[in-house]
Amino acid sequence: MSLHFQGVGMTSMRTRERMIQRLREQGITDMRVLDVMLNTPRHLFLDEALAHRAYEDTALPIGHGQTLSQPYIVARMTELLLGTAGKLDKVLEVGTGSGYQTTVLAQLVPHVYSVERIKPLQDKAKERLRELSLRNVSLKHADGGFGWPEMGPYKGIISTAAPQAVPEELLKQLAPGGVLVIPLGGREQHLHLFIREEERENYITRVIEPVKFVPFLSGTAR
């Protein structure tokens, strides 16, 4: 799939190529991820006033106190998801936000289910996904702490907000051999992987690296 939105000036292909070069220097090696991020118009996920900064190596505000994650962390989490679980069918994302990570994932896996607790963010993301004609994404306005059990189990689950401890419901919704990629902690956070064993309901934990995410909150907001 390729998304045909070219952009000009600071959102041009050259600017995007520089972002990809930086991601490679930062250690991202999965070509599928690099290719999709090269071709995904990140500037469309920001307000116009911030669009010219879209390809910088930084997180950017998307309103309601939330942020679009920096390109490196989107790439890293996607690479971990693809590289750990084997062949992915369905992926659950908690924290749709702008819909950028959702869009990257939707070009790499058959179907993405994404849950967001703040209604106006979800509405905006839905609109963008429609503009990009992404049809393999389902969105829901809900507290992702409960996952999306009706659609599970999932080979891959990704959370783009950080709880203090891993939500039990997300572990429960992992398919055998599946992986949960999630930041955990408060002021100090680390990216974690929870890999469900094939044969029994047991999880292998891996701590990846320090990160900085917005907090994982309970309940929903309008």
Q: Which is nearer to ligand SAH, 138 or 177 (CB)?
A: 138
Distance of CA 40 to the CA centre of its chain: 13
- Subset of residues 41 to 70 that bind ligand SAH, contact rule: CB under 6 A: 62, 66-69
- Subset of residues 81 to 100 that bind ligand SAH, contact rule: CB under 6 A: 94-95, 97-98, 100
Distance of CA 211 to the CA centre of its chain: 14
Catalytic residue among 2, 12, 69, 218: 69
Q: Which is nearer to ligand SAH, 72 or 100 (CB)?
A: 100
Beta bridge partners of 210: 190
Amino acid at residue number 40: T
- Subset of residues 134 to 163 that bind ligand SAH, contact rule: CB under 6 A: 143-145, 160-161
Distances (CA, A) of 153 to 26, 120, 150, 175, 222: 33, 28, 8, 5, 28
Quick check: is 69 catalytic?
Answer: yes
β pairing state of 137-141 and 111-116:
parallel
Q: Which of helix, strand or coil describes residue 72?
A: helix
| Part of the chain binding ligand SAH (CB under 6 A), chosen from 75-83, 113-121, 174-182, 184-192 | 113-121
Query: Under the rule (CB under 6 A), what is the footprint of ligand SAH?
Result: 62, 66-69, 94-95, 97-98, 100-101, 115-118, 121, 143-145, 160-161, 214, 216-218
